[in-house]
Structure formats: structure tokens, C-alpha cells
Amino acid sequence: MQYALDDVYYLGMLYETLCEALWDHGRETWLSDDCAALVSEESLRKAENAAIEKVIRACAGMDRVSQSVAASLVRWREDLARRKDRPREWLVSTEVLIELARTRPKNQQDLSAVTGLEKGTLKRRGEEILGVIRMSETPDPDFVALPRPTKPDAAQKALGNALWKYLGEVCEHEGVPTSAIAPRDEIRALAAGKRNLRVLSGWRRTFVGESLLERVGPADSSSP
């Protein structure tokens, strides 16, 4: 119990120290804006869908039926996790879900051959999993499969590297961790033409987003 208390012992002092640093630099709105964003309906909705989208993106490029199976399996897992009040990965791992979508087992014997599927899960949930697979092997007419992601060309890769380097220089000069502004994947997305990004909204846009956009140029009108 003591180790758990030790983990939070200094949080109050750390909060006060960080708040003082923000106020000294005129950045107090950074904290209020980010806290408000964390509890916004949009953020909560994104958090709920994050695990679903992770599996669906991982299956991009599979055939339409396999992607339909993946979408159904991951939603089944989310519902099960809520009902059982258990972490989703404890029930069925993401890697196993992807393998189930790829192989689409037809019976218990096929299911038992799936790498990573625990015997206890096979015994308790095997028929349920097979039922989800069977039901989703006929995709809804409006189901759209995701294409396999394309690799960036040399120019896009160079732009992403240049933007990342520039962001690092700005953050170092301002004494701000790069991780507080944007992960590298987001900068790659910016280089690829995406504009619906956190680095281009709120205080981050003012801090560095606008100058990043100047280095990118106009976006493709088809990019979100």
C-alpha cells in the first residue's frame, strides 16, 4: 500500500510547480484548454472508439469480408469488456482479433489453431466468437473496406522529416517537450496532407501549427 501512496505523494507539489511555470510564461490557458478537451464529448467519443479504430486500421488491405469480421469482432470485444468490467486485452488480445479476422475459423478445431487464443477463452467464448464471425461474413451493403495504406514517396518523407526537425527546434528553444505538442505520426500525417490534427487546433496552432503550415503549403482538397 505504501508504494501506491508514494506514487502520488509529490503530485500536489508537482502540480503547483508546473502551474507556476505556465503562469510565468503566459501559458496558463494551455492547461485549461487541454483539461477541457480531455472531458469534451468529442474526446470521450474518440477514446471509446480508439480501440475499435486500431483494429480496423490494422486490417486495412484485407479483403472486404475479413474487414467486416474484424469490425464485428472488435465491437463484440468492447461490449464484452463493458459487461464484464474487464480490460479488453485480458479478454481477447488485439493480435488475436486480427488473426481471427484474417483466418476466419469455421469451427472449434480451426479456432484452437489460432495462435495466442487462450484455452480458457476458447472454452468459454469459442462458440460465441464463431457466431460473430459467421454473422459478419456477409457484410452490410454499406460496409466500406479500407485500402492498404500507401507508403510515402521520397518527397513526402523528406517533408515529414523537415517538419519534425523544425518542431524539435521550436520546442527546444521554448523549453517545451515535443511530446506535448505532437507525436511524430501526426507530423507525418501533416506532411501527407491531413489537416484535422491536434497540432493545428487551439493553442498548439498558435504556438507552432501556423508556422508548420507555412512550410507545408496548401493541402489537397481531398484530405480531411
Q: What is the pLDDT of residues 156-198, one digit of tens each?
A: 999 999 999 999 999 999 999 999 999 999 999 999 999 999 9
What does the pLDDT read at residue 35?
92
Residues of the chain with pLDDT under 70: 1, 218-224
Query: How does DSSP assign 31-69, residue by residue?
Result: HHHHHHHHTSHHHHHHHHHHHHHHHHHHTTTS-HHHHHH
What per-residue confidence (pLDDT) applies to 222? 47
Report the pLDDT value the prediction gives residue 63, as an integer from 0 to 100: 96
Please tell me the predicted confidence (pLDDT) of residue 139. 94
pLDDT of residue 74: 96
Check residue 49 and give its pLDDT: 87
pTM: 0.72
